[in-house]
């Protein structure tokens, strides 16, 4: 609490945390601080023990003189914390450097002087981040251990507090909350080395993933998320190994890594807690297409990512640069349905559309829109699309066929039809829209309505590559 509290800016305190499962005798340990860019002694702890996985509070004032409600383990008026060029070092009784807080340059790495919010260490299980790095610290957003009515933020805790604070980022309830949602292990058409990993937050709360690690099937670190990173509720986090790929969306994190196309397995850890696993690490990946560059997509309703049924090959295309032929949905717009076919048959009066889908994700509400536009006569461009509401047509079974009649004549025109799936998340009720398929239709005028599927002349039918 380098900024003091609202009763006085000099009411400062330091909290130590024992990351081990054994109590530690702090007798003779000492703290040093930086003054005028030189290290000077601050205080020596005369006696005291910090229990296993517990705290030790050192303050320059007792509870009667400041807004603290918890009793410090040690009160020493030598506690002095500056609001510029802050750096504190902890030495054991043998003089060995145990830990360092801040780098002694400029303003402290966290904390809020105006609102009196403390500077809190990110304790990722038993492997705390280097205290000289900015990512090791955050500004307090919780308030415990203060007198009633106090407005300060922080969580001062002494060695006698029975209810211990969990290390930041290691809440047991996080297990399974973040899942691998999509893997581009095969790269894209610009290079098979251009790969990405997508994570999905299944909860209705933001999750701080700073300090989390993705490991391979040999438990080798592939990605270490060192930068401040939070996944909003029901949202995604995209990790790419390059910024030179065909991606149109901007990755949340760019860091070098390589995904193998055989024996693939990824493990997501928060400290020592295993959060999620993708694939089983044996043979070819469960899904994805190396030749056609189609990503491996998670069925998010299946918790166990080591099962083949938890994955399917991408059938939708969003988030790519115009002209890219790679398939996948980076940034999390995976379709809850798979398009099996989409056809259009025209007469002189109307166009008869049919499509068939297979449902991939349970509980989502899915409706459809159709977009129609025509090629302009003097160029290869198309007019602005007209939205035709083809719904609400709810998906009520695993595989179902739909029919729709567009009451328009397309004689002597090239028309483009796009089928859009509009899905609604069952919990958050957020909507996502994906173009499932695109067809191009040229119709030669005929005097009567043709029989379905037989009298239509096609110029071409293809997927839209954007």
Q: How is 176-200 classified by DSSP, letter by letter?
A: TTEEEEEEETT-BTTBTT--EEEEE
Q: What backbone torsions phi and psi does residue 281 show, to the nearest 5 degrees?
A: 75, 15
Query: How many other CB atoms are found less than 10 A from the CB of residue 52?
Result: 12
Q: pLDDT under 50 in the chain at which residues?
A: 125-126, 162-173, 392, 394-396, 445-466
Asked whether the domain spanning 337-442 has the same topology as the one spanning 172-313, the reply is: yes
**227, two tokens:** 């930068």
DSSP 8-state class, residue 133: S
Q: Which CATH class is domain 13-139?
A: mainly beta
pLDDT of residue 461: 34
Tell how many helices (H) and how many strands (E) occur in the chain: 0, 30
pLDDT of residue 361: 56
**309, two tokens:** 């049924």
pTM score above 0.75: no
Strand residue runs (E) in 108-257: 119-121, 137-139, 178-184, 196-201, 207-208, 213-215, 221-224, 230-231, 236-240, 253-254
What span, in angstroms and rounded, lies between the C-alpha atoms of 197 and 199? 7
DSSP 8-state class, residue 167: P
Residue with tokens 């609400």: 392
Architecture of domain 337-442: Sandwich (2.60)
Per-residue pLDDT tens over the stretch 127-159: 567 889 887 898 988 888 888 788 899 989 888
Domain range list for the chain: 13-139, 172-313, 337-442
What is 172-313's CATH number, 3.40.30.10, 2.60.40.1260, 3.40.50.12280, 3.40.50.360? Answer: 2.60.40.1260
What is residue 309's three-state secondary structure? Answer: helix
Residue with tokens 């047509």: 393
pLDDT of residue 445: 43
pLDDT of residue 282: 93
What are the residues whose beta carbons fall under 8 Å from the beta carbon of 110, sequence distance 6 or more? 119, 120, 134, 137, 138, 139
What span, in angstroms and rounded, lies between the C-alpha atoms of 216 and 259? 9
């Amino acid at each position: 609490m380098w900024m003091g509290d609202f009763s006085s800016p000099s009411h400062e305190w330091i909290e130590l945390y024992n990351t081990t499962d054994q109590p530690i005798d702090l007798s003779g340990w000492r703290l040093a601080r930086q003054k005028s860019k030189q290290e000077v002694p601050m205080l020596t702890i005369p006696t005291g023990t910090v229990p296993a996985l517990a705290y030790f509070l050192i303050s320059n004032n007792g509870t009667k003189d400041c807004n603290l409600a918890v009793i410090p383990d040690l009160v020493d008026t030598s506690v002095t914390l500056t609001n510029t060029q802050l750096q504190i070092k902890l030495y054991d009784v043998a003089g060995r450097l145990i830990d360092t807080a801040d780098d002694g340059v400029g303003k402290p790495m966290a904390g809020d002087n105006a609102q009196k919010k403390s500077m809190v260490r990110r304790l990722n299980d038993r492997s705390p981040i280097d205290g000289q790095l900015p990512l090791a610290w955050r500004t307090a957003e919780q308030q415990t251990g203060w007198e009633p009515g106090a407005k300060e933020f922080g969580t001062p805790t002494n060695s006698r507090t029975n209810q211990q604070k969990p290390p930041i980022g290691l809440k047991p309830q996080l297990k399974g909350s973040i899942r691998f949602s999509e893997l581009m292990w095969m790269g894209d058409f610009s290079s098979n080395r251009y790969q990405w990993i997508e994570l999905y937050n299944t909860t209705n709360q933001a999750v701080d993933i700073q300090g989390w690690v993705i490991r391979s099937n040999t438990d080798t670190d592939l990605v270490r998320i060192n930068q401040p990173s939070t996944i909003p509720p029901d949202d995604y986090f995209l990790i790419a190994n390059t910024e030179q790929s065909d991606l149109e969306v901007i990755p949340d994190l760019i860091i070098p890594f390589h995904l193998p196309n055989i024996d693939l397995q990824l493990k997501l850890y928060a400290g020592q807690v295993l959060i999620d696993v993708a694939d089983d690490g044996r043979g070819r990946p469960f899904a994805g297409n190396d030749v056609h560059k189609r990503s491996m997509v998670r069925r998010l309703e299946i918790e166990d990512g080591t099962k083949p049924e938890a994955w399917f090959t991408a059938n939708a295309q969003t988030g790519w640069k115009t002209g890219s032929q790679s398939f996948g949905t980076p940034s999390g717009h995976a379709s809850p349905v798979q398009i099996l076919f989409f056809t259009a048959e025209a007469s002189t009066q109307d166009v008869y559309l049919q499509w068939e889908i297979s449902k991939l994700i349970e509980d989502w509400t899915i409706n459809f829109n159709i977009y129609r536009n025509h090629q302009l006569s003097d160029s290869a461009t198309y007019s602005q699309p007209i939205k035709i509401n083809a719904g609400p047509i709810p998906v009520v079974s695993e595989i179902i066929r739909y029919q729709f009649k567009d009451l328009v004549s397309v004689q002597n025109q090239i028309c483009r039809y796009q089928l859009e799936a509009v899905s609604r998340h069952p919990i958050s009720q957020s909507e996502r829209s994906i173009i499932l398929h695109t067809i191009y239709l040229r119709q030669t005028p005929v005097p009567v309505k043709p029989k379905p599927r037989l009298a239509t002349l096609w110029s071409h039918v293809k997927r839209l590559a954007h």
